[in-house]
Amino acid sequence: MRTLLAGLVCLAIGIGLTEYQRRNPRKTDGTEEKETPKTPTKAALPKGVAELLETEEAGSDTPAPGTELEALLSTPAATGDKFPVIAEGKVQARSLHGGFGASIFVIEANGKAGIARAAVGEPTKVIFTRKSVDALAVDGSTVFFAEGGLIGSTHARGGEGVTVRARFKNATVTSLSASGDTVVATLMPKGSDPLSTDSIGAVVSLNSDGAVSLIAQEQVRPRGAQTDGKGAYWIGGYPPKLWRGALDGAFSSELYDTAEEPLQLDGDVVYFRSPLGSGVELKRIGRAGGNLQTIATGDIKALAVSSGLVRYATGGSDAKLMEVAAGSEPTELLPLTSSVRGVAVGGTNLFVLTQSDDGTAVLRAK
C-alpha cells in the first residue's frame, strides 16, 4: 500500500513538473523564457475592432495604365543647376519616397491618381492609375499602396501586375510602411470622420501570406506608420503622440507624448516633428525610448534620414531645404519658393518635391 501511495505521489509530481516546464521553457543557456502574450483572437476582441480587422478574399487587381497622367508630366533637359528639375507638370503631387535609385510619388489630376517614378537621366513614368491612392510605401524595388481597404504591391519600375496583400472589408488604410515581406498599416473605419477624436482606429501588421496581426487597438487617428521589420512606430492620439508596438501584438506603448508627422526610422533611432509652443522641433529618440535629442528647430514639413544624415524642408515665407548631422549645425542646401510636398533619398540622389500656387508640381534631384 505504501509503495502504491509513493508511486502516485511521484506521478503527480512528475505531471506537475512537466506542466511547469511547458509553461516556462528554458533556453539552452539555462535561463527561463517567459511565455509571450499572443494577439487576441477575433472572438475575444470588441465587436468594432473585430469588424475593422475583417478581410475578404484577396483576389486579383488590374489597375489602369498610366498614359493619361503621364502625358501631363515632362522631363526637362539637363541643366547645370545645383538641384536640376527632373520632372514637372500641372498635377497635384504628394507622398514622395525614395527607392531603387529613383523617386516614387503620387500625382492627381482629372479625378484620377497615379503612382509616378522619376530618376535622374530617365524619362518620368506613371506606373499605373487608380481612382485614389490613400497611402504609399517603398521598400527597395517594391512599391506598396493602398486604395480604400485594399493593400497591393508591384515592382517600382512598373510593367508588372499588382499583388493584392489584403482587402479590409470595413476599414480604410491611412498609412503604410514595409520592410521585406512585413507590412504595417494604420486603419480607420470606412466612412469615419478623418478628424474624429474617437478611439476607433487600429494598427496591424501583415505577413507575406496576408495574415493580419493586431498591434494596437482603440487608436485616435493612427497615421505615419513606420517599420524596420522588427517593430512598428506610428503617430496617434489627441493631442498626437509617438507610439511603438511589437509586430505580433505582444505590446504597444507610448514612446513620446508630443509628436507629429513626418516620422522616420534610421538604425536604432526614430526621428519626428515635435510642436513646441508656437514653434516646431525636429527630435530623435531611441527605438525603445531614451537618448532624446533636439536636432533642429523650424516649421519642419518633410524629412529624409539616411545613416544619421538628416535632410529636412521647412515651410513658411522662408522655406528651405536643410541638412544636419547629429552634433552639428544645420546648413542650407536650397531655398524653396513653393510649398514642399516631400523629401526623399533614392540611391545616391536626394529628391525634393514642391507644389506651386499655380498647380505645377516640380521634382528636383541632386
Cis status, amide bond into 239, omega within 30 of 0: yes
| Span of 26-30, 55-59, 124-128, 352-356 with lowest mean pLDDT | 26-30
The secondary element (H helix, E strand) that includes residue 271 is strand 269-276
- Look at phi and psi of residue 48 and say left if phi exceeds 0, alpha if psi is from -120 to 50, else beta: alpha
Q: In this structure, are residues 151 and 185 in contact, taking their beta carbons and an 8 Å threshold?
A: yes
Residue 35 has pLDDT above 60, yes or no: no
- C-alpha distances in Å from residue 17, one per residue of 14, 25, 29, 323: 5, 11, 19, 60
Grid cell in block for residue 258:
508630443
The cell 478628424 sits on which residue?
195
Grid cell in block for residue 30:
539555462
Residue 207 has pLDDT above 80, yes or no: yes
Q: What percent of the chain has pLDDT over 90?
A: 75
HSE of 219 in the Cβ direction (CA atoms, 13 Å)? 34
Which pLDDT band holds residue 42 (cuts at 50, 70, 90)?
Answer: low
Pairwise pLDDT comparison (208 vs 272), residue with the higher score: 272
| Prediction pTM value | 0.85
Cis status, amide bond into 262, omega within 30 of 0: yes
Q: In this structure, are residues 221 and 208 in contact, taking their beta carbons and an 8 Å threshold?
A: no
Which pLDDT band holds residue 279 (cuts at 50, 70, 90)?
Answer: confident
Residue 212 has pLDDT above 70, yes or no: yes
Which pLDDT band holds residue 44 (cuts at 50, 70, 90)?
Answer: low
Mean pLDDT of the 310-334 span: 92
Task: Give residue-wise pLDDT tens across range 67-106.
Answer: 999 999 998 887 778 899 999 999 999 999 998 889 999 9
| Span of 16-30, 35-49, 113-127, 295-309 with lowest mean pLDDT | 16-30
Tell me the domain boundaries of the chain.
42-365
Mean pLDDT over the full length of the chain: 88
Closest CA to 71 of 114, 37, 20: 114
Mean pLDDT of the 302-314 span: 95
Q: CATH number of the domain at 42-365, out of 2.60.40.1180, 3.30.1740.10, 2.40.160.20, 2.120.10.30?
A: 2.120.10.30
The secondary structure of residue 27, as a DSSP letter, is: P
- Please spell the DSSP secondary structure of 312-348, one letter per residue: EEE-STT-EEEEEETTS--EEEEE-SSEEEEEEEETT
| pLDDT given at position 100 | 82
Pairwise pLDDT comparison (194 vs 43), residue with the higher score: 194
